Amino acid sequence: MSSTLGSQSSVAFPVTCATRGAELTENSVLVLCPPDCTRGRVPVFGTGIYASVSTVCGAAVHRGLLGPSGGPVRVHKQKGQINYVSSYAHGIQSQALARWTASFTKKPVKKTSAKKPPTGGNKDCQMDIAMVIDSSNNIGQRRFNLQKNFVAKLAAMLRVGQTGPRVGLIQASDSPRTEFLLSNFTQPKELLFAIKELAYLGGDTNTGKAIMHTAESFFTQENGGRRGHPRVMMVLIDGWPSDDLEQAAMLARESGINVFLVSVAKPAPEELSMVRDKDFTRKAVCKDNGFFTYSIPSWFSTTKHVKPLSQRLCALDSLLCSKTCYNSVNIGFLIDGSSSVGDGNFQLVLDFLAGIARSFDISDVGARIGAVQFTYDQRLEFGLYDHSTKDDAINALKRISYMSGGTATGGAISYATQNLFRRTGPGRNFLIVVTDGQSYDDVMRPAAAAQKQGITMFSVGVAWAPLDDLRAMASEPKDGHTFFTREFTGLADFVPPLVRGICRDFTENN
């Protein structure tokens, strides 16, 4: 261990799980332990004060200063002593030792707000990203190391964090090997260390197997996948694959995973005869539109490609494979609060709308809901971007207080068009109008104006709501966008067909 460990005492120096206290040359040094130092053989001698033959990271876990994810810890050297005591703590059994020439103690790193690294991450890139890298004989050790450097720079540019992107990694070889999951590293420094420690495997370029393995299990919630967050799989390949990609890629698409294929050093014309499927790139990606394929001429010229590739991985509106109606729509509820509705029935309306909301993946990167209540006047109860979780949005919906008054549905449609749907998205904006009576103003022109702005309208009438008004407000085809029930208790039956109608319209328009 070089003396650099002491000269940069304010910066944690990466060590391995096998690094022993005797290898540290300075009296006090800050080290960065990798994750999973409880696995394998990590000899520890002593309790509290450890013999210098002990592994520093194993001793830190034994002392309770580090968990399985690793992290920084300060090591202080001490004189040798007699009778190092054995004990079992935090999953590690330390051993007794009669005497040793040197010792060390551990101290936690003080967390100060001034020096604490940012943990939020890049909020504009809230993706779950699986990086599938090439570890085959085809790439070789030297280019494998260049690949690691490229992946590390890309990961640094993405800026992982609790509220930003998460990154996991799989190596493609004879058989795929998951190196770390999406939830293992939420700090950039830890992630970069894990990438640096990757070992080259060799073997065939079975990229199809690696894509299949990743699509089947990598993005589950148990493995750190976040509900409502777009799933991205970036596949790096040197040359060409040894196996078929088509079936694996089809599963990935059907699972809502956006597969990018980054091809480095494409096969030369004289090598094409060895390529099993010359269309492998086109078949592998989410969509063959040019966006999901990226070509880099050589591993020696990757740096300039880091930024443009990271921008593609984070381009939410272009990730076509993760866009379903359940995680992509904006739904506005336009709620009649007139006197004829009454308190009890108003609660039934809110229950009905909450049932619709529960069907969608509401999040800050997923579906959104907002609500306007109207009488003669209009009241914005909450906007599409006010609540970023399903629970918060539904609770806000249930807390809406009943206004009571007249009925001016046309003016309310114009108000909702201007105040709810400020951001446009083709085939993504939906307005559901719930009313129980005749409007005192014109509804046809405001509804036509809303639809001209790309808002799909569903009208739901109860009791005395005129069918002519309901059909005038509804989008085409009228029969598929108009609902009516005599009783407020019948509203609950409309939840499934309304959700199906929204998804049908979204699919047709996207």
Domain boundaries, the chain: 13-107, 128-318, 329-509
Q: At what angle do helices 140-158 and 306-313 cross, to 10 degrees?
A: 60
Residue length of the chain = 510
Tokens 């229950």 map to which residue? 351
- Predicted confidence at residue 135, as pLDDT, reads 94
List per-residue pLDDT tens for the chain, 510 residues long: 333 344 344 577 788 888 898 988 888 888 888 888 876 677 899 888 899 999 998 888 888 888 777 888 889 999 888 888 777 677 788 888 888 999 988 877 765 444 444 456 788 898 999 999 999 998 999 999 999 999 999 999 999 887 889 999 999 999 999 998 998 888 888 899 999 989 999 999 899 999 999 998 899 888 889 877 899 999 999 877 888 888 898 888 878 899 999 999 776 666 666 666 677 888 888 888 899 999 999 999 999 999 999 999 999 888 888 777 888 899 999 999 999 999 999 999 999 999 999 999 888 778 899 999 999 999 999 999 999 889 999 999 999 999 999 999 999 999 999 999 866 566 789 999 999 999 999 999 999 999 999 999 999 999 999 999 999 999 999 999 999 999 999 999 999 999 999 988 987 887
Using DSSP's 3-state secondary structure scheme, residue 276 falls into coil
For residue 182, give the nearest of 212, 123, 134, 227 by alpha carbon: 227
- Predicted confidence at residue 10, as pLDDT, reads 59
Q: Is 389 left (phi over 0), alpha (psi -120 to 50) or beta?
A: beta
- According to DSSP, the residues that pair with 334 across neighbouring strands are 372, 433
Alpha-carbon torsion, ordered 433, 438, 441, 447, to 10 deg:
30
- Predicted confidence at residue 267, as pLDDT, reads 65
- Predicted confidence at residue 84, as pLDDT, reads 83
Check: CB of residue 231 under 8 Å from CB of residue 256.
yes
128-318 and 329-509 in the same fold: yes
Check: CB of residue 382 under 8 Å from CB of residue 419.
no
Q: For residue 44, give both structure tokens.
A: 């520890």
Helix or strand (DSSP H, E) at 60: helix 56-63
Helix ranges (H only) for 258-319 are 280-284, 306-313
Using DSSP's 3-state secondary structure scheme, residue 138 falls into coil
> Is CATH 3.30.465.10 what the domain over 128-318 is classified as, yes or no?
no
480 — phi, psi (to 5°)? -85, -5
**Model pTM?**
0.56
**Nearest-angstrom CA–CA distance, 360 and 372:** 19
Tokens 């984070």 map to which residue? 314
For residue 312, give the nearest of 290, 340, 337, 341 by alpha carbon: 290
Using DSSP's 3-state secondary structure scheme, residue 464 falls into coil
Which of 3.90.1150.10, 3.60.60.10, 3.10.129.10, 3.40.50.410 is the CATH number of 329-509? 3.40.50.410
Which of 2.60.40.1180, 2.40.50.140, 3.40.390.10, 2.170.130.20 is the CATH number of 13-107? 2.170.130.20
Check: CB of residue 340 under 8 Å from CB of residue 353.
no
Q: Is 337 left (phi over 0), alpha (psi -120 to 50) or beta?
A: alpha
